[in-house]
Structure 1
Amino acid sequence: MSGARGIVAGVFGRSPLVAALLAALAAPASASAQSFLGFRALGVPIGAVDARTTALGNLGIGLARVEISATDPAASARLLWPTFGVTMQPSWGSFDMDEQSGTSRTNRLPLLGIGYPVRAGGVVTASLSGHLEQRWIARRQSTVTLNEVDVQVQDSYRNDGGTSVVRLGWAQRIGSVLALGVSGGTYLGRLDRVFDRQLDSLAVGGEVYSFREEYAWSYSGYLLSAGFNADPHPLIHLAGAAEWSGTLKEVPQDDAVGEGLYTIPLRLSAGATGRLSPRLAFNVSGIYQDWSTSDGFLAGVTSGRKWSFGGGVEWHVVEGETRSLPVRFGYRRIAPPFRFEAEDPVEAVWSVGVGLNLAEAEGFRFGWMDLSFERGDRWSAPLDERFWRATVSVGISRF
């Protein structure tokens, strides 16, 4: 089983009626998706990072001078004033799969966060971020025999939804060198699956009509994170974090069937920033997460790859007393958790970006806009996906 036929059969496998209909399908007609990767599981990961992080090829850990972060619990410890940031992300893509090809376009809000310093020397943090996303649609036209009459039918299969994470945390400064952070969060989300069949009932006669099946599942669960930031030298910034997740629950709604219980593996991350000159800095980061030990998924779905890494450079082309204009370049290589078929997936992304720091003093930004552009590839044979992605982040402090 391959192509769109394999997709719809795997995803709608909870419905015996749809499975029976799919058994009669021959060749796929057309398909489009944000990504088909992980269609048999929970979808494709969404980076909970802003435009600066994206442009620098960073994986969300170890960047110096970060205001808001969902993945670096201690990053906000140095905030002096209430700070708010929001990130928006449109993307455009294409794919090849066996003899099929198609395009996609989507918009998302990967990160929304706030940090609020308190008198105790700590910072309360709150964020809403993306986690996993499942968006695709497949269409086909075929002929079925009803009452000894060949009837043209058009089938449509749609999958739309995913999970997000709401986090509440605390980041605490400990002297001038060290900062610690903790956060707790909950998974939120919903998945809608729709099968729609349109046919010419007049050609058949009798009680034969077009029909539609709709099913929905909701997601819930919780996770805990802890991490540190350290500045052992004025030119060096270090960070590390661990994220532990409870069971992710997929609960059927209304007429849907098939409750899912998925274990999310421990996520360990570390990163560092080094300053080469007052205007030039580089960063590296890495993540270890072993999905091959997870339970609740179909056999052979989870990837055996465990490591992701990235890095980049930031150069302040313009450096004024209260404003600056940095340019950024980065690369990252990610190990997505779910295979398309049998091959472990890989995602490779080149990025470039620019920032406009509207007001800053002593390394703290009070108002900013960051923009990044990415060119990426994902592959897990026979699937090959390509995408362009833009990320825009806007932030304000001292409001």
Structure 2
Amino acid sequence: MPEALANTNLFKPIKVGSVNLNNRLVHPPTTRIRNTDDLVATDSMLKYYEQRAECNDGGLLIAEATFPAPEFGIYDYAPMIKTDRQVEAWRKIVKAVHDKGAAMSLQLWNLGNTADAAQLKKHGLPLIAPSAWYFDEQSKKAAFEAGNPIKPLTIDGIHAMVKEYAAAAKRAVNIAKFDFVEIHAAHMYLLDEFLNECSNKRTDEYGGSIENRARFTLEVVDALIDAVGADHVAIRLSPYARFQGGQSVDAKINPIVVYGYVLSELERRAKEGNRLAYVSFVEPRVAGGENSPEAAKLNTAWVNEIWKGIIIRSGALLRDEDYTLLKKYVDGDDRTLIGASRYYTSNPDLLDRLRNGYPLTHYDRPSFYIPMSNAGYLTWAKYSERPLDENSEVAKAIPQPLA
């Protein structure tokens, strides 16, 4: 049987930004592709988050990565928070989560060169990136076949995106009532592409030195602080990800140097009165959606040495029934929260199972991304209850737009 964690810091309250949480278990951003074809959140999504809010005893749920606007990238059935309908749909979800006593954060996503070039072309949008660099030959081939090869983002384009990030943050916090907005600067999406030397070959003020490569990300941070206040702003980083071209410790410049600079700049802002609500850190043992056991021995204590605020650590921390690394992190200080995404998909009552040492229901990877379907999404059950089968009314129901 798994170890019960009731006596660990996981069940101690903590203040994040201006929000008091009752525990330190977090639902990290988890893409599920259950929006409508015009990227409006659905009643199924409301139910999914409500189920987890109901069982997480006043914790934090981070919504799936969401586009601020079409030029940030478009995936079929993924969420956006640009139009009035999209904002209103998210507002209903946040209200449902708040009504269950939980807090909610929205991750803002910018795909960069990982976007679908053909999909962008269909909408009259370019495939953008820091430089004309493709993370693999397949993505390069797809871009050229679509007649939409990478167009390096202009300085004016960068400035426009910074403004749109801020506008999206206002829509999320002021209208949809999210508690936080999380800047997605991980996993070799656009901001991370700017940070990394392998993908950023620019020679202007956004390329070359580490300070220049970090400029875009930090400008977004500052714009969001100005827009909604530092206590509503967060950021996600993945220094060791080998995903979509990320090179981890094989990079020309060690991740500690690059991301240490970013964290140092965030800590400097904190000391000047603008401490972000949290930094979300992806463990090196996770490469995108896959585990990377060979990276498990990397020492990431440097993150806590630089950043002195709240940190969320995520990435295969539930992989052993003794929860060894989870306990090390959450009990190692009084400012660490634990993110668990894959097991949160299949265990709506994950917090209760961890508290009592109940077995976890293994997630089902094939059902992660089934557009407009409740199967493998709303069919999971609490411990000792029976899951719904594929012929149930819930599984067969078609998700409907919330606005």
Structure with greater Cα Rg: 1
Give the number of the structure whose residues are more often strand, by fraction: 1
Whether TM exceeds 0.5 here: the answer is: no
Give the number of the structure whose residues are more often helix, by fraction: 2
Greater relative contact order structure (CA < 8 Å, 6+ sep): 2
